[in-house]
Structure 1
C-alpha cells in the first residue's frame, strides 16, 4: 500500500519535516503535490516529479526531484515552492492562535497525471503547520496612541521583549510576532497606520509613537527590561533603524531589506527632524510583466544633494543586524545597508553586522514560506515586483531566521542588556 509518511505531522511553520513515500514500485515515476487553501479561500499548490528507488520509496531528504516546480534535493521544497492559483496573491497567516495552516499532500502516478486523467491519488496526508505553540497568549493592545497585539510565550517569564514591524501594506500583521513568541520572545506586533483609529496613511514618522510602544512593552511584568529588540522589514526597517538611533530602550535591531534615510516622509523625534530626500516618480518603472519596480524611484543620499536625509545611525547604542536580498526590486537594500555600515565605521562603531543573500528578494520571511515575487499593495494601482529566485530565496529564509533568533538571544539576555 502506498503511503505518505510525514514526521512530525504537526509542527511550527519554521520546523523542517521528513517526508517519505513508501509502497511504490521500484523506479516508479510519481508526482507529489502540496495544496493549501488560505483563510481568504485562495489556493496555493506545488507539483514535483520524483523517481522511486529500488525499494519503491521516495525520501525527500535524499531523492532529487526530476522536474516540476524545482529540480534537485530539497526536503522542504513542496512548501517553499507553493504558487498561487490567483496571480499576484501573497500567502500570509492572519489568524495565528489555535488555527494552523493545513496542507494536503498527495502522490499520483506520473503517467496518469500526464495523460490528464489523474484518478484518485495513490495516497494522501494532511500536515498541520502552526504559527504558535500551545500556551502562547495574544493580548490586544489599545493603550494611549498605540495599537497592536502582544504575544506572550507560555510560562512566568520574564521574557526578552521585541517589537515586530512590517512595511507599507499597513494594518496589523501578526504571523512573525506569534512565531517569535513561540521561540521565547514577548513580541508586540505593532500597527502604525491603516489600522483601527490610526491614520489612513503616513504623513510623518513620529518616533514618539514607537517610543510609547516600547515603554508599554517594557511595563509588562513578563517582559525582561530595561531594553528591547526590534525585527523589521522594508518601511518597518527604516522605522526600526530610527528607533535604534534615537531611543535608549533599543538594544538589538534586525533590519530586513530597509532604507536608512527619510524619503517621501520626514522622520521626527521630539524637536529633531530628518527631512525627506527627494523622490523621483518619473523613474518608476513598469517591467514587461506590468509589475512596478520601485528601486529606481527612490533617491540615494550618497548621490543626491540632500545628504542630511540619512539617519545618524552612529548614535545607535545597541547592536544592528542588516539582512539584505541582492535581488530586491523594491530598494537597493544592499547598497543602503553598506552605507549604514560605513557610517558606523567612520564613527568608530563596530555594532553593525551585514548578511547579504544573492538571489533573495525583498520579502525575506520565516523558513519554508513560499517566495512572493509580486503581489498587490492595497494603496497602489498595479502589482509590485518584490524580486527573488526560488531556491536561493528559500535558502536565505532558512539561514537568516536562525541568525535572527541567535542575534536576539545574544543581545537581549539580562547579562548583555546590562552591559550596554
Structure 2
C-alpha cells in the first residue's frame, strides 16, 4: 500500500527550517502545549525546543516584513525584540522564561556559541589577511571613539543637555563594552571619583547602554542595506580590502577542499571548547584581560604561526558554520529573553535622550568607517566591527549586530572591540574624569 497520502515529507511548498509547514505546525503545537502546561523539560532540552520554535517563527516574520527586511536587519532584529516582548508583556509563562534565561546565563550557551564562532572564523580566515588586519584594527576603534564622543559632546551642548554630561553619562557608557564589562565597572570608577553611590550612577547609564544597543542593531541592518546600494563601500563580510582578488580567491579555494563529515564536526567542537578553556585558564592568572580576549589571542597566534594542520582548521571552520546555520536563532531568542530589558528601552525614549544616543552611534559608525578606510579596511565592515561592536552590549550585542548585518564571520574582530576596546574605554573614562572634573 502506498503511504504517500499520510507522509509529512512534502517535496515542495512553504517550508520553515527546512520542514513542511504541516510538520513544523505539529512540532510547534507540542512545544507550546508543554510550555503553557509548565511541563517543558528544564535545561537544554526544553530551552532548545522552545527557542528553536520561537526563533524560526520570528525569523520568518522578520524576513518578510517589507521595511524591516530591507532596512532594519530583518529576521534577527524581530527575533530579539519579539522575544523580549514575549517576556516583558507576560505572553510566555515565567517558568519558560526562567528555563531560557538559565540556559543562556547559568548553562553557558552564549559562551558555547561564541567559542565556536571565534575559533572557526579565525582558523577559517586567510592567514595573511588576519595578520595585516590585526595590526591596523586599533586605529579604527580609536577613530570611532573619538568621533563618537566629540559628536555627542557637541550635540549635548547645542541642545542644552551639557557637553560634559553627554560625554560622560551617555557617550562613554555606550562605547564601554556592554553592561558587565562596561557600565558596571564604569559606575564604580565614576562613584569613586565623584563620591557618589555607584548604583545611582549605574541607573543613569543603563538606559543609554540598552537604547544604544538597540540602535546599533538597527544601524547594522541599515549598513548592510547601504552595502547593497553602494557595493564599493563593502567587502561583503571581508574586513580587509583585497588588492589582488584573483590570487586571494585561488588561495581560499585551495584552503576549502576538506569535505564535510561528521567526524570533522566533532573535532571542531573539541577545538572550540578547548580554546575557550585555555582562555579562561590564562584569564585566571591575568584577570585584567577578559578570557574572551585571551582566547582570541591564542587562536590568532596558532593561525598566524600555522601550527595546526589544515585538516583541523577546516574542522573548526565547519563546526562554526554548523553552529551559525542552526543555532543563531536560538541565541537571538536568548538575547531577547535574558539580556534585553524592553521596558528600560521604552522608558528612555525622550527626544533629547534619543538624539544623544543616536548621535553616539552615528559618530562611532563615521569615525571607524573613515579611519578604517585609511588603514585599508572596507568602510562598512570597519563601521560594523570597530564602531557598532564598540557601541553594543558586549558579546550578546556582537551576535545581534553581526547577525543583523549578515556578517557573522567577523566575530573575532567584534570581540576585540567588545573586550580589548572595552578595557580601553575604562582607562579613557578615568582620564576624562580627571580632565572634566
TM-score by length of 1: 0.27
Q: Which has the higher contact order (CA 8 A, sep 6+)?
A: 2
Question: Which structure features the higher share of strand residues?
Answer: 1
Question: Which structure features the higher share of helix residues?
Answer: 2
TM-score by length of 2: 0.26
